[in-house]
Copies of this chain bind each other. A is one copy, B any other.
Amino acid sequence: MTYAAPIADMRFALEACADLWRLRDRYPDLDAETLAAILEGAGQLASETLAPINRSGDRAGVTLKDDVVTAAPGFREAYEAFKAGGWQGLAADPAYGGQGLPRAVALAVMETVHSANMSFGLLPMLTLGAIEAIETHGAPDQKQLYLEKLISGEWSGTMNLTEPQAGSDLGALTTKATPQADGSYAITGQKIFITWGEHDLTPNIIHLVLARIDGAPAGSKGISMFIVPKFRDEDGSRNAVRCIGLEEKMGIHASPTCTMAYEGATGWLIGEENRGLAAMFTMMNAARLNVGMEGVAVAEAAYQKALAYARERKQGGAFIIEHPDVRRMLMTMRAKIQAARAICCATAVAADAGDKAREDLLTPLAKAWSTDLGVEAASLGVQIHGGMGFVEDGGAAQFYRDARIAPIYEGANGIQAIDLYGRKLLGDRGEAMFALIEEARGFAPIRAAADVLADATDYMLAASRDDALAGASAYLALAGKVAGGTLWASGLQRAPNADQQRLFDFYVTTSMSRAPSRLAEIRIGADALGDFSA
């Protein structure tokens, strides 16, 4: 695969659409030249180091033997290069070795990493989650112990939430934490679907684990968060946590998905007792945005692969790119990618700017809309390849398989729709959404869709909970389309650009134009959803 970071598209999304430079006062050291250098450096790492081991990693996968998980060939060298480049700590606290850059810049860097090698990208993504959790909730001594080594990439981090009976409903988890005399807790239980839960790329792994302290209230109000290092801080001895199984998955084969057994492992409470879910949600916002960017990234990789194929593949004496339908598919991919990229970048800039209302509103859109696009674009990429798309050697199939996880993890997209309605819309009675709608109305090509989004928002606020939830996914799809269009239009106002204008016009004609027709689906109501009693 020959992947090249789409620097111009990335910069337009970041600087023009997401208005990165509104952060100038907060980040006086960042300028356009530095940004360009960072993106180019990341792009080089992605093209030269990570992309070349994407197919081979898919084939080799990971192995578990005697509690040891061995990464795919080449991953160790790639991780060393990633670490040496200081990429893990871009947005982290300079007090612990971070570079203190905006999260938006780190997010853009993660786009190129995920495009080149989604399995690889999950390792730093999870570490980032651990860094943010400890930065936000850790006690001073915890920061001292862990942050520097996580930020440098010397150690990696994980998030341990899911249990066999507790996926979307974390309140049902049963892993228990028993207080010990030294102030630590003995953690006992089993966690599933733990990404990079065990591996041989770093000498230590820092697990953030949700568990229930003995005697804690039932449900989600009795959950606490713990730090469980693979090797104990006191004496460096091996902690009682191990990987007892790897999932056999459809994609991201080079990323180990572990079942973790905690057998009285030593853990340390992080944050307040019984407030673990709130702490985890801090991490989850960032993780959801990063997963949204994974959707953009795998779509971009699929787009570049399909474009290269269409340019080199002849049928009947002509290159297939000369077929209008092939160009239509490529344009569809690139246009939706750019809209989703704008949403993700704007979410990160809002977070950096401390604009919590906008960050909260955009996060479920960034996660769900972008990851649905990831699947759609990867599927179009297969289609453009024809028979070669279905053959594994063609390379397009891997994106189709890899992309499929992103709408599922970090809160399935249906959960994002519930979040958009239940926490975001109801949380402020639509204030943040109506602010977005007002912006949208300022742009003629978006106005009709914005008006429909306003009607739909009124409906969602007035409807019964069940009726609103019946239309919540369609509502999210509409809101995502409007948000993408609005950010893009504002970017063009800020920085006129002929290439982007042409792509935006395509998006308006083919995608924006279909937005108003979502209304009936949003308003369908729960009674129309059928009776599935057995």
Contacts and interface: CB of A to CB of B under 8 A. Distances in A.
Contacts of A503: 530
A60 interface: no
Given A248-B393, A310-B532, A315 B514 contact: no
Contact of A532 (B307, B401, B407, B470): B307
Interface residues of A, number: 82
Contacts of A392: 248-250
Given A248-B392, A321-B532, 5 more contacts: A172-B317, A193-B387, A387-B409, A390-B408, A513-B517
Interface string A373-414: 001000100110011011111000100110011011100111
Interface in A11-37: none
A309 to B, nearest CB: 12
B404 A386 contact: no
A247 interface: yes
A506 B529 CA distance: 7
Contacts of A532: 307, 310-311, 321, 327, 330
13 contacts: A169-B315, A249-B392, A249-B397, A324-B470, A325-B417, A327-B470, A382-B408, A387-B409, A401-B401, A505-B528, A506-B528, A509-B521, A514-B521
Copies in the complex: 2
A260 B324 CA distance: 32
Interface of A: 162, 165, 167-169, 171-172, 192-193, 247-251, 307, 310-311, 314-317, 321, 323-331, 334, 375, 379, 382-383, 386-387, 389-393, 397, 400-401, 404-405, 407-409, 412-414, 417-418, 466, 469-470, 472-474, 502-503, 505-506, 509-510, 513-514, 516-518, 520-521, 524, 526, 528-530, 532, 534
Question: A316, A375, A506: which has the most chain B beta carbons within 10 Å?
Answer: A316
Given A404-B379, A509-B524, A387 B167 contact: yes
